[in-house]
Amino acid sequence: MKNFMIAFLLFSSFLMAPARAELPDFKTLVKHAAPAVVNISTIQKRPRQGSSSFDFQGPNGEKIPEMFRHFFRLPGPEQAPDSPSHKAPQSLGSGFIISVDGYVLTNHHVIKGADQVLVRLNDRRELEAEVVGSDERSDIALLKIDAKGLPVVKFGDSSKLEAGEWVLAIGSPFGFDHTVTAGIVSATGRALENETYVPFIQTDVAINPGNSGGPLFNLNGEVVGINSQIYTRSGGFMGLSFAIPIDVAMNVSTQLKSDGFVTRGWLGVVIQEVNKDLAESFGLDKPAGALVAKVLPNSPAEAAGLQDGDIIIQFDGQPINLSSDLPHQVGKVVPGRNIKLNIIRSGRSEKIRVKIGTLADGDAPQKISSRTSAVPESNRLNVIFAELTEQQKKKWNLRNGIAIDKVLNGAGANAGLVAGDIITMLNGKRVESIRQFVSLINSLPEGRPVPMRIVRRGSPLFIPLKLGKN
């Protein structure tokens, strides 16, 4: 029995040896890559109202959800005297050198609002940096320091990253310079709320305040991303980290270097996700694509003939599986280029060509107007309607539709309609009046969802409507 156990242990060790041998050894990677990673601190001579981005408050003092946080070192109490002549607390981040003559990449939020930016090199030299340009939409900033013969990073191809691949981060979490953490790619092409122009790389690499702007490496020692955000409920690392793909970052930095600003493509549509119920209402086999809730006036989409209710399933040869896939595909197109769109319209597949425009800052959101009149009407939705006034049409930039004054128990409430909604389209037909709408409702089949377009607080939205028996 003893001999059997010895033999079993030897055999088990033999089987496990190859598995251990396959684990990555990061020592050589770190030795070659670390010299190009820098620490970045900013000094603000004018003190800010909030001590740091970890205050978790909005611009008007309102509490905001503890979700995606940008990373800054928290200042100590001795650093923040409320005196206009005193330098405000330093906020720390990371960055990396991309050229021997001193160009450095980091995050926009690391240097935002700074009066002075300092870069500390691996050899402990500290140099003041010039902000060449900064782009808030992609959270990328390009700096320049006055130095020559600097160590630089190698660039990889972030489009080739796959889930499960080993990656490594080097940065300065909480001010601890050149801290190395490793993990795997959890997912690629992640869309985050309010971050429509970046298809993020999700990893489980430990990222904390101070890592922001630092590089994410693959096993070849090539930079594939810039560590930017985390998902957290505590303010610290919880296993969900997000990095900006290096191909996005380099496209932005090239424009910042040559022009000082970033130009992006613009299609001119408001889109929404296609869920299971909407897919069924539009006659699709599965939920996929970007549903056009509104075509903006005087936009490239309007000029190309795109319509409300179209579903974009392919853009310039690239499949659009989620609505979040579309913005970053459009944004990276050079304005003026002609692009082919594959769409689904009224259940049929069509192709149209659109000349991409230039993205500009959007208008401020509008507030919903108060109701002025009501017209009760017996209908299968069990809601009370009102005709739109000219003032309402002008305010919401509408040509047609009817408004909802009250929602009673019934199909309308089940569909999610609320008072103040404006119905502009039903099952592919424009809604022109209450009488015409009631006629459309009465002609709909039972039990099969159909798409209904509404405008809610100025924002267009498609919802599926399913009617029961009269």
- Catalogue the active-site residues: 109, 139, 212
- The answer to whether residues 175 and 92 touch, using CB atoms and an 8 Å cutoff, is yes
Beta strands in 25-84 (DSSP E): 37-43, 68-69
Q: Say how far apart CA 340 and CA 344 lie, in whole Å.
A: 13
Q: Can you say whether the dihedral through the CA atoms of 381, 383, 384, 388 is positive or negative?
A: negative
Q: Name the 3-class secondary structure at 457.
A: coil
Of 431, 420, 433, 419, the closest CA to residue 392 belongs to: 420
Q: Can you say whether the dihedral through the CA atoms of 292, 296, 301, 303 is positive or negative?
A: positive
The burial class, CB within 10 Å (0-12 / 13-18 / 19+), for 152 is middle
462 sits in which H/E element: strand 459-465
Q: For residue 173, how far is the Cα from the chain centroid?
A: 24
Q: Name the 3-class secondary structure at 119.
A: strand
Q: Say how far apart CA 211 and CA 216 lie, in whole Å.
A: 10
Q: Say how far apart CA 461 and CA 433 lie, in whole Å.
A: 19
Q: For residue 125, how far is the Cα from the chain centroid?
A: 36
Q: Say how far apart CA 246 and CA 73 lie, in whole Å.
A: 24
In the block, tokens 């405008």 appear at 455
Q: Name the 3-class secondary structure at 121.
A: coil
Alpha helices of 99-159 — where are they, by DSSP H? 108-111
Beta strands in 274-382 (DSSP E): 290-295, 311-315, 318-319, 338-345, 348-355, 357-358
Encode 374-435 in three state secondary structure. CECCCCCCCEEEEECCHHHHHHHCCCCCEEEEEECCCHHHHHCCCCCCEEEEECCEECCCHH
**Bridging pattern class, strands 154-155 and 222-231:** parallel
Q: Report in angstroms the alpha-carbon separations of 256 from 26, 138, 263, 340.
A: 33, 12, 10, 28
